[in-house]
Amino acid sequence: MTIVIFLGFDFVYLSSIKMKNENLQNIANLLIVLILGFILLKEGSFIIVPLVWGVFFAFALNPMSNWIEKKRIPRGLAILSSILVVSLLALSVFYLLLNQVIGLISDIPEIGSVFNTRVETYLADLQEFFGVELNSNELLDKVGLFDFGSLNKTIFATGKSIVLAGIIPLYIFLLMYYKDFFVEFLIRRSKDSNEKIINWAKDSGRVIQFYLAGMLKVTAIVALMSGVFFYLIGVKYFLLFAVFIALMNLIPYVGVFISSLFAILYVFLTTDSLAYPLITFFVLWGIQLIENNLITPLVVGSEVKVNALAVVLAILIGGWVWGISGMILFIPLVGVLKITLEKNENLKAYGFLLGDEITISEESENFWKLIKKNFRNSSKK
């Protein structure tokens, strides 16, 4: 009897060790896959980033292409027409900004000299006030952030990105032309029913379409508000700075800080009063508050439904892997990941971890959330 009990305990002990080893093996395999995946994404960004942009724009242009195709137009011609319309709009905006970009580049030496003069003046005032000797030349050499001579190199270095973006229309055309082929591949590859695969593709496509269309509207609204303000205070390149702030606003939390810093610096260097930079700071801060708390929730809605922590992590990881493109693309990609996890019964909990579906009682809501809720309810009526 004692031998039987001992053998039983020994069997349980060995089973527990085996389960622990299997768990450790699964964790190790997951870490290996994640590490190799990030290495592949980072090293292959030259090919993968345009492809992902192509996928996103293919989803965004698909409704327009389908509408044209329903008019008895061949699919290839319908896709080309959709790409052509969007390309013409983009080229029109680029043409409007081109003259302002050229003017700003030509003004960089003058702005740099003004900056050096302003710094020397303020350092002399500080030296007289505190009685401490400060060398302006050494300080300017150490502050590499305001090396206006290198700004020209930075601007022209974007030529590589422009050339890289030239392949995106080809990706868009091929992805849209062979969309039925890819759907058939997913159906054959998956063990689930065809209905689940089709629903997943539709939900993912809706998230991408809604996100891109909503952010385009938000970008236009932010550009309009910023442009009106810059025009009123007499900024020479008001259209360029308005579009720059609106585009950088696509990068949550980080983009608005960077764009505002450059805008405030330019206003500081091109005006004679400190009141203008301070007004610019408060106005841009107010536009950001309105955009984050009012415009984006109403225009974009909660279709992506990703919590702020997941968004911040997506921005950091995306910026590390793909730079600025990753900071923009990883947010809707996290939304697609959330949908994918929610479709799997074993992984639903991880989908919930990425979401923002947190129930808050009426008594626990703050004043600002109550205002937004009442505003949304009134807008739906």
The DSSP secondary structure of 354-367, one letter per residue, reads HS------GGG--H
Q: 290 CB contacts (<8 Å, ≥6 apart)?
A: 225
pLDDT at 145: 45
Phi-psi region of 38 (alpha: psi -120 to 50; beta: other; left: phi over 0): alpha
Which pLDDT does position 194 carry in this prediction?
64
Measuring CA to CA, how many Å separate 124 from each of 132, 133, 264? 10, 9, 23
Give the separation between CA 299 and CA 216, rounded to whole angstroms: 10
Evaluate whether residue 97 is within a structural domain.
Answer: yes
Position 218 in a domain: no
Residue 44 main-chain phi, psi, to 5 deg: -100, 20
**252 within a domain of the structure (yes/no):** no
Token look-up 């932010």 returns 222
- pLDDT score at 77: 92
pLDDT value for 337:
83
What's residue 84's pLDDT?
A: 92
- Of 177, 204, 238, the residue at which a domain comes to its end is 177
Residue length of the chain = 381
Q: Which residues of 214-238 are buried (b: 16+ CB within 10 A; e: fewer)?
A: bbeebbebbbebbbebbeeeebebb
Cβ-count burial 300-309 (b if 16+ within 10 Å, e if not): beebbebbee
Q: Examine the fold and report which residue of 124, 149, 177 is the final residue of a domain before the chain moves on.
A: 177
Residue 262 forms part of a structural domain: no
> Which among 177, 203, 226 is the end of a domain?
177
49 HSE (CA, 13 A, CB side) = 20
Domain membership of residue 196 (yes or no) is no
Tokens of 221: 């609204």
In a domain, 73, yes or no: yes
**DSSP code, position 144:** G
**How far is CA 359 from each of CA 7, 31, 355, 356, rounded to the nearest angstrom?**
51, 33, 12, 9
The token pair at 149 is: 């001579």
Q: What is the pLDDT of residue 80?
A: 92
pLDDT, tens digit only, all 381 positions of the chain = 555 454 455 545 555 565 556 667 767 777 888 788 888 888 887 888 888 888 888 888 888 888 998 888 898 899 999 999 988 988 888 887 887 777 777 777 777 777 677 666 666 666 666 655 555 555 555 544 445 445 455 544 455 566 666 788 888 999 999 888 887 887 777 665 666 777 777 777 777 777 777 778 888 888 899 989 998 988 888 888 888 888 887 776 667 788 888 888 888 888 877 788 899 889 988 888 887 777 766 666 555 667 777 877 888 888 888 887 887 788 888 878 887 787 777 778 888 888 766 655 555 555 555 565 665 565 555
Report the pLDDT value the prediction gives residue 7, as an integer from 0 to 100.
47
DSSP 145: G
Q: State how far the Cα of 261 lies from the Cα of 139, in Å rounded to an integer.
A: 20
Number of structural domains found in the chain: 2
Residue 324 lies in a domain: yes
Residue 91 lies in domain: 50-177
Q: What is the pLDDT of residue 239?
A: 87
* 200, part of any domain: no
pLDDT tens for each residue of 220-234 = 888 899 989 998 988
Instruction: Report whether 93 contacts 243 (CB < 8 A).
Output: yes
